[in-house]
Amino acid sequence: MLAVIGLLSTTFGVSVASALLPLISVELFAIGLVLNGTDIPWWLLALVIAAGQIAGKLLHFYAARGAIRLPGLFRRKVGEREQKGRWREWLEKFRSNCQQRPVWTGTVLLISAAASLPPFAAIAVIAGWAKVPLAMFVVTGFVGRFVRFGALAIAPGVVAGWL
């Protein structure tokens, strides 16, 4: 029992770290756990990873909202002009869509969290900047991440069953 708790704690830590640092792959970690033959049920593994991912992505979300003070390297300097380019226009349109069409916003968040298209790391930042409601971000992100990592956790068993 202690070994399982330790493994779940480690899994949570790796999932938070991977949410913050894209060079860390929680997908590879999860596949390694499953192929190693742990006794952790797929749904519990998916639940722990999804919770860790959302915990990490919340830091990006709150930083984009301005609720977390970033180091000087990542902040805009006082007096810098805001330039109007295509990227800025797209972001403004996305913010407007998020506020006017909550079903569309939830769908984009859910698809991004499950499929990472568009990348969920980018969507977490943009959702924070666009002032997406926290509950919508957490619920849709968690459900999408649970689906993603649940499918990943059961995939080796399904493939082995076919062979």
pLDDT tens track for 84-108? 788 788 888 888 888 899 999 999 9
As a dihedral over the C-alpha atoms of residue 146, residue 98, residue 119, residue 84, rounded to 10 degrees, the angle is: -160
pLDDT at residue 53 tops 80 = yes
Pick the more confident residue, 147 or 80: 147
Q: Is 72 or 123 the better-scoring residue by pLDDT?
A: 123
Query: Which two tokens mark 127?
Result: 């959702």
Residue 140 has pLDDT above 60, yes or no: yes
Q: What ranges do the domains of the chain cover?
A: 2-69+84-162
In order of 28, 57, 58, 146, 163, the CA distances from 8 in angstroms are 15, 19, 20, 15, 29
Rounded CA gap, 62 and 128, in Å?
6
- Dihedral sign for Cα atoms in the order 33, 36, 24, 70: positive
Question: Residue 56: what pLDDT?
Answer: 96
pTM: 0.86
